[in-house]
Amino acid sequence: MAERPVVLFLMGPTASGKTGLAMALREQWPVELVSVDSTLVYRGLDIGTAKPSAEELARAPHRLIDIRDPAEPYSAADFVADAEREVADIHAAGRIPLLVGGTMLYFKALLEGLAPMPPADPEVRAQIELEAQSHGWPHIHTQLAAVDPDTAAQIHPNHSQRLSRALEVYRVSGKTMTELRRAQRQESGPGFAERYRVTQLAMAPRDRGVLHERISLRFDQMLEQGLVEEVRVLRERADLHPGLPAIRAVGYRQVWDYLDGGESEVEAISWNELRERGKAATRQLAKRQVTWLRGWPDLEWLYTQDEEGKNRPIEEIVKNTLNYIGTKTI
């Protein structure tokens, strides 16, 4: 075990402070940062993704940021291939990879591997979308649970993208994601967790209300910084549309709808409605992320508040984190 190279994971819900901690750790520990975020991969999606600034990236470079055009979908399989390459490159340079982000599916895919899935079928996907429009996404979740309860248990009833794909896989191939992944594990060689010593950390405030306050403040700041104009520029591109993963991202979808309401027959959304919808969608994202983490094995929680609810200084969090990492990597 001790001979395996070390890899660090830093996970947590959106707005929990992961990026700031990762950058502070890089200043005191020989780590290189690898982004684990399904939206930071896209160029031109800066404000709504809370992408580190150019100055921050110059001080603490992040790999796997700005590597895709928003017209090009980026999958968990793409991430696994990219992350494997970056981890190997960082180790070859004598450094330690610190993978930081909130896309739990990517972390899970890296740890457990991905089974070959059937290609997307636009007709099947369109049919699922129509069913969801008529009966709601919880209805799709119920259908999935009837054929693949294990996968359904890992997906929120309103997570449209993942529900659609899971049910599509079954309808196209006749096999569930659970079956395909089980077969893949039996056929593949040693996985990521067998090749590396993985230390897993999760960062969050103890009080959910504090996280909601951060989410609210940050979304208002995004609007002040020009999120609407950022989306307006994206909408001017003929190759971008609301069906793309980049545009379905939290914040971008709500602003796109807001702009549609002002220029089409779609029901108009007021500025205040935009603010509330964006914040609500971000809270839902954070809730899904925390739900993932509650069942995550071998996880060390880094709370940003003490037991009395007082905020911990970043210096204290860094010190505690380094102490914990040291016990796991010696």
State pTM to two decimals.
0.82
User: Quick check: is 247 in a domain?
Assistant: yes
Q: Please say whether the beta carbons of 26 and 60 come within 8 A.
A: yes
**Span 4-20, pLDDT tens digits:** 999 999 999 999 999 99
Both 84 and 218 in one domain: the answer is: no
Domain CATH number, residue 252: 1.10.287.890
The answer to whether residue 188 is domain-embedded is no
116 has a pLDDT exceeding 90: no
pLDDT of residue 94: 96
- Share of residues in the chain with pLDDT > 90 (%): 77
Residue 227 neighbours by CB under 8 Å, 6+ apart: 47, 48, 251, 255
Do 278 and 313 lie in a common domain? no
DSSP state of 265: S
| Tokens encoding 208 | 């959910």
pLDDT-based confidence at residue 185 (cuts at 50, 70, 90): low
Q: Are residues 17 and 92 in the same domain?
A: yes
Kindly report, residue by residue over 262-312, the tens digit of the pLDDT.
544 445 678 999 999 999 999 999 999 999 999 899 999 999 998 888 999
Please give the sequence-ordered ranges of beta strands (E in DSSP) within the chain, or none if there are none.
Answer: 6-11, 31-35, 62-63, 96-100, 197-204, 299-303
**pLDDT band for position 156 (cuts 50, 70, 90):** confident
pLDDT at 1 over 60: no
Q: The domain spanning residue 151 has which CATH number?
A: 1.10.20.140
Q: Are residues 70 and 219 in the same domain?
A: no
Stretch 188-207: mean pLDDT, rounded?
A: 90
The answer on 297 and 278 residing in a single domain is no
Residue 37, domain CATH: 3.40.50.300
Are 23 and 92 in a shared domain? yes
Specify the pLDDT at position 265. 45
25 lies in the same domain as 159: no
- Together in a domain, 62 and 107: yes
Q: Among 37, 50, 21, which Cα is nearest to 102's? A: 37
Q: pLDDT tens-digit profile of 23-73? A: 999 999 999 999 999 999 999 999 999 999 999 999 999 999 999 999 999
Q: What is the pLDDT of residue 262?
A: 56
Instruction: Tell me, yes or no, whether 309 and 218 share the same domain.
Output: no
105, part of any domain:
yes
Which residue range is the domain that position 61 belongs to? 6-113+193-207+293-329
What is the arithmetic mean of pLDDT over 253-264? 81
Together in a domain, 63 and 203: yes
Give how many domains the chain has, as a whole number: 3
193 or 213, higher pLDDT: 213
Residues 60 and 102 in one domain: yes
Residue 147 sits in the same domain as residue 89: no
Give the pLDDT band (50/70/90) at residue 144.
very high
Average pLDDT estimate for 217-235:
98
Instruction: Report whether 196 contacts 293 (CB < 8 A).
Output: no
Inside any domain, residue 50:
yes
Q: Please report whether residue 1 resides in a domain.
A: no
Residue 181 has pLDDT above 90, yes or no: no
